[in-house]
Amino acid sequence: MIAYVFPGQGSQHKGMGANLFEAFPELVAKADEILGYSLHELCLQDPKDRLNLTQFTQPALFVVNALHYYQKCRQQEAPPQFVAGHSLGEYNALLAAEAFDFETGLRLVKKRGELMGRMAGGGMAAVVGLERHKLMRVLEGEGARDVDIANENAPSQLVISGPLERIEGLVAPMEAAGARRCLVLKVSAAFHSRYMAEAAEEFGQFLRGWRFQSPKIETLANVSGRPYAGDIHENLARQLREPVLWTETIRYLLARGISQIVEVGPGQVLTSLFYKIKREAEPLDLSAETDPLSKGKVPSPSVESKEAVSVDPERGATTSRRGADSPTPPPTSLVETSGAVKTSGPGSGLGPESLGSEAFRQAHGVRYAYMAGSMFRGISSPDMVIRMAKAGLLCCLGTRGSSIETIDAALTRIGKALGTAKNYGVNLFADIEDPDLEMALVDLYLRHDVRTIEAAAFMRIQPALVWFRFKGAHRAREGRPHTPRRLIAKVSRPEVAEAFMSPAPEKLLESLVQGGRLTREEAAIARTLPVADDICVTADCGGHTDRGSITTLLPAILRLRDAQCRNHGYASPIRIGAAGGIGTPEAAAVAFLMGADFVVTGSINQCTPEAAICDQVKDMLQGLQVQDTAYAPADDLFELGTQVQVVKRSVFFPARANKLYELFRHCGSLDDIDSDTRELLARKFFNEDLASVWTRVCDALARRRPSEVDRIGRNPKHKMAAVFKAYLDRAAQWAIQGEPGQKVNYQIYCGSAMGAFNSHVKGGPLEDWRHRHVDALAELIMQGAAETIVDRFQQLMPR
């Protein structure tokens, strides 16, 4: 079950609606006619700095919210069972529920904005980290009987409203009582309080001239947190002077079985609040309730007339039916919004949804500039991908080491669980021994309509990458190149990053065209765009690593990005992320402060209920400290001496793997190894003699690459490497499966971020991995990063 929620004042920003105005020219023209000014100019350019003035903000946001909604209707997305909006956003909810038409809604909002914009003399403050009963105790202790609660945005996030001098005087007492922040908002009046009574009465008189239909989708009212069951006129008038009960609204939705919300409009503030309320409060108990508004039975969506009737006091009654140019709905400071509080001080107004790149969040359809990276052999499982996607977060399915059949089944399961949602990614790992496998995987991803891949371990641009990235590329209506698919390249070296930041090589493009994989138009567009639109700078991390430092790598890649964008004249900058060592809020905060557009976590997600690895390994990971990792040779690049970072506590794997690499370096063949060492390897490492290991290797190669058996067998050095790599491969399988008696041989990819995270959550509810759901880790990292940045700014500010 889904609810659509519409944001209110505070979510506006310059540039909102940029891709929507041209899609709905008739509606935009009608809005300009009603308002008497150009919305396109106001929202995209704001030449007179009026976008943040209430009388302009509210109509602009109503229109942009409406266009976002109509766009969803055109795309035939799943219809909602409920709609709700935060203050101003409630008008968009009623519009979606067909209580009135677009023109009527805009005229109402225009009048509302004018009335609220005329009010003066009051103030508001956001109180973060103080629950209602504690806040009320402060008000009583300070004798602040002239202050009202204006917004209940979350159990620990409230807004107070009253005389400005009084509000300013409450900052210190609120913080002394335990509030993390008490920030005076830059507003002109005490909205949603008794001080709006005059405006509410005038607006109520204005509303009497209009007639509305019963909502056709269950619509929740701000003043009650329950569905409309009575007079729309009364509720909209009351809304000006009464608090926004957003916590109550979300708890009601949770009680009615809502598992997902879709925020329809600019930003992700309400989405962030949804998950915050889920963490801090239980769903309402509705068993004893009969009627939310009029003491009758809980209402169902109306199925009355499909015509929206409005009465304009100047023009008389009109009945609006949808014409050919009207969108078709689906078939069945923050004062008015919430979340990060926007004020004027450095670091203030910062919430988790504000960190990193807005373009990243929009491109991937997620709430945060955050990604849970892939883990090999499917450890980042379909369960993990589905849970993250449903939480509005990005996660990549682990595919390296998995068969095509297994990956196919995983993608089928993800597709069934997520429907049309595409806010997830899939790993594509470089395979220097079998490049045909890369092409086969991309063919599979295209058949499943995967929109995002995470490219890992590529040292140069391969045909499979370009094929995926530019398949379906076309020019949008305004002539700008558009690619429906995204490529996130994980790199640890500047020269590799530069290749991904450049257009695809000409020879490669031509070969893809000649092979029928790209059209001429797709190749032409590829010549104007970088191979990757997201680059993830990977420092010292679990698994494959160059042991780099994020504090040296990230600034260098950012400068390289800027130079490449200038040199190639890209219209949109390439986004740069940070990975490796991101296991605490402080680490994420550092990455964002250095300029990262997004952050990527890895090791910590392995110790979650959703990770496809045995419980024994999760118990081991939960107990790690930052010093409990070591380096060992990588199975896929063994001959080159490439290393991976793995767990060393309670296992012998790192020492044994490094022993094998030393033997490989100093011996010409398996026959050169002395008999005692061969016996040790058979007994402690392989549990069988080396000849039997070679037989198993040949059997496996014969199934995958028959021609390789003779080639490798003829070269004693290659044969030795193949046998030794079999130990590394089995050690990884033993760890995933929890093979009895093989704990000392477990190969567990892991970075020091795991130990840092364990230290951070020690003594709290997330100390036990069984409570560490992957989306909860994302919330903890991002929320904590925002708070860390604000706290550091406040400490640095002169007193």
Radius of gyration of the chain (CA): 29
Retrieve residue 630's tokens: 């070591």
CA distance 518 to 471: 6
Residues designated as active site: 87, 192
Which residues does 231 contact at the CB level (< 8 Å), separation at least 6?
Answer: none
CA distance 771 to 419: 27
* Nearest residue to 625 via CA among 496, 750, 791, 441: 750
Q: Letter for the amino acid at 326? A: S
CA distance 298 to 5: 20
CA distance 465 to 438: 8
Per-residue H/E/C for 375-390: CHHHCCCHHHHHHHHH
Long-range contact pairs involving 638-642 (C-beta distance under 8 Å, separation at least 24): 638/664, 638/721, 638/724, 638/725, 638/728, 639/664, 639/721, 642/544
Q: Letter for the amino acid at 595? A: G
What sign has the CA pseudo-torsion 485, 490, 495, 498?
positive
Other Cβ atoms less than 10 A from the Cβ of 303: the count is 9
CA distance 370 to 781: 9
Long-range contact pairs involving 692-701 (C-beta distance under 8 Å, separation at least 24): 693/723, 693/726, 693/727, 694/670, 694/719, 694/722, 694/723, 696/726, 697/722, 697/723, 697/726
Retrieve residue 25's tokens: 């020219």
CA distance 51 to 37: 12
The most distant pair of C-alpha atoms in the chain lies apart, rounded to whole Å, by 102
Other Cβ atoms less than 10 A from the Cβ of 319: the count is 10
Residue 308 has φ and ψ, to the nearest 5°, of -95, 115
| Region for 601 from its dihedrals, namely left if φ exceeds 0, alpha if ψ lies in -120 to 50, beta otherwise | beta
What sign has the CA pseudo-torsion 776, 780, 786, 787?
positive
* Nearest residue to 733 via CA among 719, 747, 721, 720: 747
Alpha helices in 652-705 (DSSP H): 653-666, 675-680, 690-704
Q: How many residues does the chain have?
A: 799
Which residues does 786 contact at the CB level (< 8 Å), separation at least 6?
Answer: 340, 350, 351, 352, 354, 355, 589
Alpha carbon separation from 408 to 254, 413, 582, 705 (Å, rounded): 33, 9, 30, 21
Retrieve residue 514's tokens: 């000649």
CA distance 259 to 315: 44
CA distance 319 to 708: 76
Alpha helices in 690-772 (DSSP H): 690-704, 706-714, 716-737, 753-761
Per-residue H/E/C for 236-249: HHHHHHCCECHHHH
The DSSP bridge pattern shows strands 157-163 and 122-128 to be antiparallel
Please count the CA atoms within 13 angstroms of the CA of 295 that sit on its side-chain side. Answer: 0
Strands (E), 260-331: 260-263, 308-312, 316-320
